[in-house]
Amino acid sequence: MAAQIIDGKTIARQVRAEWKVRADALKARGVTPGLAVIIVGEDPASRVYVANKVKACAELGLHSEHIALPADTSEATLLAKIAELNANPKIHGLLVQLPVPKHIDSNKVTEAISPDKDVDGFHQMNVGALVTGNTRFPPCTPYGAMKLLEESGIGIEGKHAVVVGRSNIVGKPMALMLLQQNATVTICTSKTADLAKFTRDADILVVATGKPKMVTGDMVKPGAAVIDVGINRLPDGKLCGDVDFDSAKEVAGWITPVPGGVGPMTITMLMANTVQAAERAAN
């Protein structure tokens, strides 16, 4: 039987509506949640992401500031801008769109953002909070993937969750969040011997490798929940995930499409983190 498709667009819309209620409640108290997004340079994909973040803020009635700096901006200038926004009471969430140009140390940038405004959840203090189970800002993409599981009624406790990929922004935090929800978690990487042995044993399979369609239906356990984080552009211009959707959907119990699965959730959870930062500041 073909899998149930997890509709990220619809779930994102519902989740945004819930957070808009919280944002409106803050506004009624005189606090408009504010997000500042800094972009350095001309990377076309980054520009699209930033434009979408600003658009989402408008949709939820949040204040947003979009700071576009030229590619030759010095590290010192960028750090000074971050310090200025850290001190700005209208701004509750602050992020620098990555990647930054090579002459800028991205670690220094991440650590310069106030942990109280770090809505991406990349600051070491927030990473540490996640590791210890005292999460403050869950990184947005895995946060969105968790929300998709929750909203689809897919139980996590006691399940075997396999995460393919160990990046700091997706794979590792995803594994930690699943662990926090009492899944038994396996992390696979490019060095894993016999990847299919692990994926075929997964009740929940999260794939974040950046390798188009690498997980095929024969690697999926019948009835499993498959969360495809990948976004890849094929030579014909179409988008596809890291999972071969057509074969996997015949085996899985649930599956996210690409586009329209995890993608719409990422910015939604950024909005959630921004509203939450404003709530903390207001209280």
Q: Taking Cα atoms as reference points, which of 6, 5, 2 lies closest to residue 265?
A: 6
Distance of CA 9 to the CA centre of its chain: 15
The answer to whether residue 152 forms part of the interface with ligand NDP (CB under 6 A) is no
- Give the nearest distance from C-beta 9 to ligand NDP in angstroms: 13
Catalytic residue numbers, as ranges: 53, 97, 120
- The nearer residue to ligand NDP, 27 or 200, going by C-beta atoms, is 200
Quick check: 195 binds ligand NDP (CB under 6 A)? yes
**Cβ-based burial of 88 (10 A; exposed 0-12, middle 13-18, buried ≥19):** middle
Q: Contacts with ligand NDP in 216-255 (CB under 6 A)?
A: 229-232, 242
142 is a site residue for ligand NDP (CB under 6 A): no
Would you count residue 266 as binding ligand NDP (CB under 6 A)? Answer: yes
Closest listed residue to residue 172, CA positions, set 229, 218, 119: 229
Cβ within 8 Å of residue 6, ≥6 positions away: 148, 152, 225, 227, 254, 255, 256, 257, 261
Residues 50-69 contacting ligand NDP, CB under 6 A: none
Does 106 contact ligand NDP by CB under 6 A? no
User: Least Å distance between CB 253 and ligand NDP?
Assistant: 21
CB atoms under 10 Å from CB of 104, counted, come to 21
Question: Minimum distance from CB of 282 to ligand NDP (Å)?
Answer: 28
Of residues 191, 193, 235, 283, which one binds ligand NDP by CB under 6 A? 191
Q: Which two tokens stand for residue 91?
A: 């701004």
Q: Hey, is 5 helix, strand or coil?
A: strand
Q: Contact between 208 and ligand NDP (CB under 6 A)?
A: yes
Q: Which residues bind ligand NDP (CB under 6 A)?
A: 141, 164-167, 169-171, 188-192, 195, 208-211, 214, 229-232, 242, 262-263, 266
